[in-house]
Structure 1
C-alpha cells in the first residue's frame, strides 16, 4: 500500500477544526499531542497552511477521522509498508507522538484526569507492559499524557509523596527516551535522558539512578565515549552495592538485580571498546551477583528486570567482540521460548541475526530476523532491522534469498 493525499478535497480546514472541537481539545492541547504548535494548527484550520501527509495521519489518529474525510486515499504499490500494510502510517504516528512528548515537556498541560501517585503508577505499569510487549504505538499514544500528568503531580505533591512523584516522572522520561532510541531519534533521547537524570537526583532512589545510568551509558557509547559510559554505570553500581547490606527481602532482590544488570551493561560497554579482559571479568561478576536472585514481579526498574535474562548479555558481548561463533554457541544454549518478555525475545533474535550476518551467513541471518517479525513486528521499525535488511539486499549472490524482497518491502527498505 502507498498512502497519498487527494488535494481536491474542499474545506479541509473546517473539517479539521470541527473534529477538534468535537474531541473537546484546544488548539494548544491538540497540537501538543501531535507535535505541532497551536499557531501551526490554527493556520491549517483557517486555510493559511497546507498540512503535509505526516500531519494529516496524526490528525486522523487523534480525532478518529476517516482518512478519506481529509483527503487521504490508498493506492496499490510498493511502499514503506509493514506486515499489516500500514507501516508508513505507524511510523508517522510514532514520530508525531514522540514530538508531542517533547512539546509536553516544554509546555506541561494537565490532561484533566485526577492525578495521584497510585493512579499514575498504574498508568506507568501499563506503559511499561506495552513497551516490554513491543507495542510501541500504544506507548507513544500514552506518553504525552503521562509526561504532562507526572509533571503536574511533582508540582502539586506534598512532602510525603514528593519522592514518589519524582520517581514516576523519571520513569515517564525513561520510557520516552528508550522509545526515541528505538526509532533512531538520538536527539530527543538525549534530551529526555538529561531530564531523567535530573528527576533521578530529585527522587533520591538508587533504582531510578540505575535506570538513568543504563540509558546514559547507551547514549555515551553511541556518541563514541565508551570510557564515560563505563565510568557512569560502574559508579552507580558501586553505590548500589554499598547499600545492599541495608536492604532486605524484596528491596534487596531488586537492588541486587539492578547491580548485576549494571555490571552486565559495563561488560557490554567494555566489549564495544574491544576491551576483552574487562568485558569477561565484569560479565562474570554480573553473573555471580545475580545468582539465585528472583526479581519481584511488577518491578518498574528496567535494569533489574533485564537481569532476569542475563545470558542475553553474554551473546551481545561475544558479538561485540567479533566472536560470532561464540555468540551463536551462547545463543543456542538459551531456549527462546523461555524468554517470556517479547522485547527481550526480540533482542535475542536481533543478536542472533546480527551474529550470523557478521559471520557471513546471510541465510541464517535472514531466518533470525524473520523470527523478530513473528514475535514483535513493531521491532522492524527500528534502524538496526532496516540496516540489516539493506545489507542483505545489497550483498552479491547468485540467487537472492527467497522472500527477502517481499520482507524488505514490509519493513520499508527498497
Structure 2
C-alpha cells in the first residue's frame, strides 16, 4: 500500500476528516487530499505528524521512507525575491560540488553572509553623505518588510533591509525619522531571529536615536521593546524589566487618542517586559504588564497585537514561573489558526512544546515542535527551540518519540 493510500486508510479507520487532520498536521485539506490520491509527494514532517495523530505506531513514517526518502528533492521558493534565487543557486551549486549547505532552515553559510551584509549596512566602512532626496517610497518598502517578518522569511528580509538601511540614514524630518526607526526596529528583530545579537544591539541603538528624534509614540515604543528583548537575551532581566516599566510610565499618559500602531507598540512592549519581569521573579509586574497588553490589544492593529499574540506571552510567563498547567490553559483558550502572523504562531507552538515538556507530556511536546517546523522551518534552528529538543532527547535517550530524532537532525542537535 502506497503512502497516500495508507494515510487515507488510517484516517478513515480513526474516523477523522480531512479537516480534522488539517487541524493536527497544519497541512491544508487540498494538500492532504492530493497526497492521499498520489498527486503530491508529501514532506516527511507530514508523515511524522500524521503518524502520531492517527496512532499509526511508525507505519506512516516507514511508508514515507519506503516511497519517498530516496526520491528527488523538491526545491520550493518561499518568497520569490532575488535573495531566494541566490540561495537556490547556492544550494544547487553546493549539491553539484558535493558540499552540504544548511541555511536558517538548513544553510548557515547563506545566513552568515546575509547577516554580514546587514552588518556592513549598519556599520559602513566610511561616513555616508546623502546624494539624493529622501525617497517617499521607503514607507512602502517598510510595509513589505513587515510582511516578510510576519511570515518568518528572515534571510530574505535581512537581505532586503541591507538595502533599506542606507536610505533610512538619509532621514531628517520627524515623519521620515519615524519610518527610519521602523527600518532599524525590523533590523533588530531580524538579527535577533538570526542569532546575531551583537549586531542587533547596533541596530537597536540607531533605532532609538531615530525614534527619539522623531517623537513618534509607535517608534519610541518599538525602540524600547528592542532594548528590553536584548537585555533579556543578555540575561540582565532586571534591567529589561526596568526599561519596560520606565517606558510605560512615559508612554501610557500620552496614548489617549493615539493611533492604533502606537497602541500596538505599547502592547508588545508590555508583553515582552512581562517575560523579563517573570524571570526577575517579579510576578506582580509580570501580571500587570500582561493586563496592560490585554487592554491594548483591542486598540492595536491585529497583525501587531491580537489576543493570540498576548496569549503566547502569557504562555511564556507561565512557563518561566514554573506553571506548565496554566501555560497549557492559556494555549487552549485560543485557536492558533486565528493568530494572524506566522512568526507569532510559531511562538505559540514552541511555547506549547516547552509547557508540555515541563509537564512531562513529551510526546505532545514533539508534536507541537513538528507543527512549528511546518509553519516556519527556520524556527527550529533557534537556540531556545534547540534546547527543548536537546532536553527531549535527554528524557528519551532511545528516542521512542515519533519524529524526534529526525527533527533533531534537521535542527543540527547532536543525537
TM-score norm. by structure 2 comes to 0.71
Gap change, CA 1:384 and 1:65, over 3 Å in 2:
closer
Cα offset, 1:117, TM superposition: 4.5
Q: Distance in 2 between matches of 1:69 and 1:281?
A: 51
- 2:296 alignment counterpart: 290
CA 1:173–1:277 in 2, change beyond 3 Å: closer, same or farther? same
Q: Which runs of 5+ in 1 are unaligned?
A: 1-58, 299-303
Alpha-carbon contact 2:308-2:339 (below 8 Å) kept: no
Change (3 A) 1:164 1:407: same
**For the Cα contact (< 8 Å) 1:257–1:307, is it kept in 2?**
no
Q: What is the match of residue 261 of structure 2?
A: 254
Structure-2 residue corresponding to 1:338: 338
CA contact (8 A) 1:264 1:286 kept: yes
Q: Is the 8 A contact 1:117 1:165 kept in 2?
A: no
1:123 maps onto 2:134 in alignment = no
Distance (whole Å) between structure 2 residues aligned to residue 402 and residue 357 of structure 1: 15
> Is 2:91 the counterpart of 1:73?
no
Indicate which of 276, 296, 302 corresponds to 1:269: 276
Distance 1:74-1:170 versus aligned 2 partners, 3 A rule: same
Query: 2: distance between equivalents of 1:398 and 1:62?
Result: 40
Q: Distance in 1 between matches of 2:161 and 2:148?
A: 11
Q: 1:286-365 to 2 correspondence within 5 Å? A: 286-287=293-294, 289-290=295-296, 293-296=298-301, 305=305, 309-365=309-365
- Cα RMSD, aligned residues only: 3.2
1:199-227 per-position Cα deviation (integer Å, ceiling 9, x unaligned): 21122212111111111111112223222
The answer to whether the aligner puts 1:200 opposite 2:211 as a matched pair is: yes
Measured after TM superposition, the shift of residue 308 of structure 1 is 6.4
Please say if residues 98 and 176 of structure 1, whose CA atoms lie closer than 8 Å, have aligned partners that are also in contact. no
Whole-angstrom distance in 1 between the partners of 2:92 and 2:359: 51
**Which of the numbers 222, 243, 253 marks the counterpart of 1:232?**
243
1:177 Cα shift? 1.4
- Structure 2 residue runs without a partner (length 5+): 1-81
Change (3 A) 1:106 1:413: same
Asked whether the equivalents of residues 81 and 88 of structure 1 are also in contact (C-alpha less than 8 Å), the reply is: yes
- Post-superposition shift, 1:135? 1.1
**In the superposition, relative to structure 1, how do residues 63 and 255 fare at CA in structure 2: closer, same or farther (>3 Å)?**
closer
Give the whole-Å Cα distance in 2 for the aligned partners of 1:272 and 1:71. Answer: 43
Q: For residues 157-208 of structure 1, what are the alpha-carbon distances to aligned partners after superposition, in whole Å with 9 as ceiling and x for unaligned?
A: 5xxxx11222222222212211121122221111221111112112221211
Do structure 1's residue 188 and structure 2's residue 205 form an aligned pair? Answer: no
Q: How does 1:3-402 map to 2 (within 5 A)?
A: 73-75=96-98, 81=102, 87-89=105-107, 91-107=108-124, 116-151=134-169, 153-154=170-171, 157=172, 162-245=173-256, 247=257, 251=259, 253-287=260-294, 289-290=295-296, 293-296=298-301, 305=305, 309-397=309-397, 400-402=400-402
Structure 1 residues 63 and 384, CA, compared in 2 at 3 Å: closer, same or farther? closer
CA deviations on 1:75-101 (whole Å, 9 max, x unpaired) are 49xx6758xxx9443x32222111111
- Single out whichever of 404-413 and 314-323 deviates more from structure 2: 404-413
Aligned equivalents of 1:382, 1:332: Cα separation in 2: 25
Structure 1 length-normalised TM: 0.71
The count of aligned residue pairs is 331
* Secondary structure in structure 1 of the residue aligned to 2:96: strand
Q: Is the 8 A contact 2:277 2:286 kept in 1?
A: yes
Q: Find the residue that maps to 1:118 and give its secondary structure.
A: coil
**Ranges of 4+ aligned residues in structure 1 off by more than 6 Å:** 59-65, 68-72, 112-115
CA distance in 2: counterparts of 1:221 and 1:67, whole angstroms? 35
Contact 2:180/2:210 (CA < 8 Å) preserved in 1? yes
Contact 1:234–1:262, Cα closer than 8 Å, also in 2: no
Shift of the 362–242 alpha-carbon distance from structure 1 to 2, 3 Å rule, reads same
Change (3 A) 1:233 1:117: farther
Q: CA deviation at 1:65?
A: 9.7
Highest RCO, 1 vs 2 (Cα 8 Å, sep ≥ 6): 1
* Aligned position for 2:70: none
